[in-house]
Amino acid sequence: MPTVDGAQSFTLEALASWHEFYALLGGASATMTGLLFVAASVTSGIFSPGRNAALRVFLSASVVHFAGILAVCLIALAPIRNSALFSLMIAGCGGFGLAYHGVAWRDLVRGGRIASVDWEDRIWYAVLPVIGYLSETGAGVGLAMHVDLGCAILALALGILLVVAIHNAWDMTVWSITRRKE
């Protein structure tokens, strides 16, 4: 494993000052993931087998956001001593989030359900997550290039994804409660 020196130490030294941020964000993400499982139990029976695309976009996406945030926090807190590997892992997490969203929304469009999605939901479930994942991927690239703002951009990306995931999880919970059979 390469030693931490010169160019490689930049990312790792800069990241050290963010330790508490990633520990707190990772803990919040793990907790919210658990609460999302409770919310999913509330929605049982709401989604029929023919609505798998909607399930992926509106419920599973929040799990992907929380899990992605948790993964980045674990990577940030792990004793990785190679900044290139660290940067690649961060960019890879952002790329995975983008790919997941692309496939989920493609299925929603193919299934013809996109017409029933209002603009507010398109912003919260499509636009903001894409901004978050593009920022996360860009932060990984920036960290690889030793850009000073790489850590701040990564923090902003994770903050966006956390707010989006919390909003969307709550939105799904409220939506499912209003549709339960009484």
pLDDT of residue 92: 98
Residue 5 confidence class, pLDDT cut points 50, 70, 90: very low
Separation of alpha carbons 135 and 154, rounded Å: 7
In a domain, 131, yes or no: yes
Question: What average pLDDT score do residues 27-39 get?
Answer: 88
DSSP 5-19: -HHHHHHHHHHHTTH
Q: Is the pLDDT score of 84 beyond 50?
A: yes
In a domain, 1, yes or no: no
In a domain, 103, yes or no: yes
Domains in the chain, number:
1
Q: Which long-range contacts (CB under 8 A, 24 or more apart) does 50-56 make?
A: 51/113, 52/107, 53/104, 53/107, 53/108, 53/110, 53/111, 53/113, 54/108, 54/111, 54/113, 56/103, 56/104, 56/107, 56/108
Question: What average pLDDT score do residues 85-111 get?
Answer: 91
Q: Which residues contact 20 (CB under 8 A, 6 or more apart)?
A: none
CB of 18 within 8 A of CB of 151?
A: yes
CB of 59 within 8 A of CB of 47?
A: yes
Per the document, the length of the chain is: 182
Which structure tokens are listed for 179? 């549709």
Separation of alpha carbons 10 and 152, rounded Å: 14
pLDDT of residue 174: 82
CB of 65 within 8 A of CB of 161?
A: yes
In a domain, 119, yes or no: yes
pLDDT of residue 45: 66
Separation of alpha carbons 49 and 156, rounded Å: 36
pTM reported for the whole predicted model: 0.86
Q: Is the pLDDT score of 141 beyond 50?
A: yes
Q: Is the pLDDT score of 178 beyond 50?
A: yes
Q: Is the pLDDT score of 1 beyond 50?
A: no
Domain range for residue 41? 6-179
Query: Which has the closest alpha carbon to 131: 160, 93, 103, 166?
Result: 160
Amino acid at position 141, single letter: V
